[in-house]
Every structure is written in structure tokens, then in C-alpha cells.
A = this chain, B = another copy of it.
Amino acid sequence: MTPPPVTQLKAPRVGLAYLLSQIGAHAADEFGQRLKPLELTTQHVGILRLLAMKPVELTQRKLAEHLRIQPSRLVLLLDELERKGLVARHTDPEDRRAKRLAATEPGLDRFRAVEALTRDLEAELFEDLSRDERAALAGLLRRVAAKADLIPGVHPAYRRLAKKEK
């Protein structure tokens, strides 16, 4: 698929963390590419994924907090999703400042298309691994994720450049 490197250089030795990061970035890039025909970005999908679980109480403030993104950034993402008719904002009758978020029917359909596309991508990425090997890989990765306190469904890329932590 990818053309071979034109400039041949002896391969440097890299560690397990690097390998993980390299493959992970590749998978994310591929996913992003395949998302284009659906007119979605990975960030949109992260939002749709949560809304597809129908948590009726979810407001923008809470969603931004959960995803670790700026509320102002979420506004733009939701504007885009709303303009496509995939997500709806409803003013909360009990607190007219807040907006309750919900995926629309077309939004759920679109998300199911993303899930199908994801299965295709995984089938290709892990084509060379047996069923047992995939399960073993998943098991190992889940333990690493748990150790790092990663939150399922919350991708670090959301807050990539977030705080300086100085």
C-alpha cells in the first residue's frame, strides 16, 4: 500500500513504547482517512459515540469535562454536527442556561456506519494475527491502559496540547 522509502537508512532500534505510539498513530491516521467520506472527524466520532449511549442528562459542560476539551472547542464541534443534523441541542427547561445533548436518528445511523468502517479497518490492520493472538493483544493492551488510568472512550488526542503542566 505505502510505497517503500526512497532513502534507505539502516533501521534504528526503537522500544516498545515507540512501537505502540507508531502503530497507534498509524491506526488513527487510517481511521481519519476513512472517516472523510462520512464527513466526520475523529473528534466528531468521539462525541457521537458517547451520545449514542443516550445519556439524556448530558450537557455541554459535562461533555467537555468528560472529554477534557475546552467548552469553547466543543461549541464548534457541536455546531458542525448539528448543521449536519446528527446531533440536537435542547434547552434544559429546569436550567435555561444549559443545553441537553442528544444524537438524532440520522446521527445514530451515521455512527453505525462508523462502527462498520471500524470493523473493516481492524480486519485489515490485524489480518496477520489469529483470533487467539488478537485476544491476547487486546488483553495485554487493556492491562496497560488500566495501569495508565486511561478512560475508555476518551482519547488523549482531544487534549493533546491542553495544559503546559509546568
Contacts and interface: CB of A to CB of B under 8 A. Distances in A.
A100 to B, nearest CB: 14
A25 interface: yes
A93 interface: no
Interface in A23-50: 23-29, 31, 33, 49-50
Interface string A122-166: 100111110001101110111111111111111111001000010
A57 to B, nearest CB: 10
A163 to B, nearest CB: 11
Interface in A1-27: 1-2, 4-7, 9-12, 14-27
Interface residues of A, number: 72
Nearest to A8: B66
A22 B26 CA distance: 12
Interface string A83-119: 0000000000000000000000000000000000011
A152 B25 contact: no
Contacts of A62: 7
Interface of A: 1-2, 4-7, 9-12, 14-29, 31, 33, 49-50, 52-53, 55, 58, 62-63, 65-66, 118-119, 121-122, 125-129, 133-134, 136-138, 140-157, 160, 165
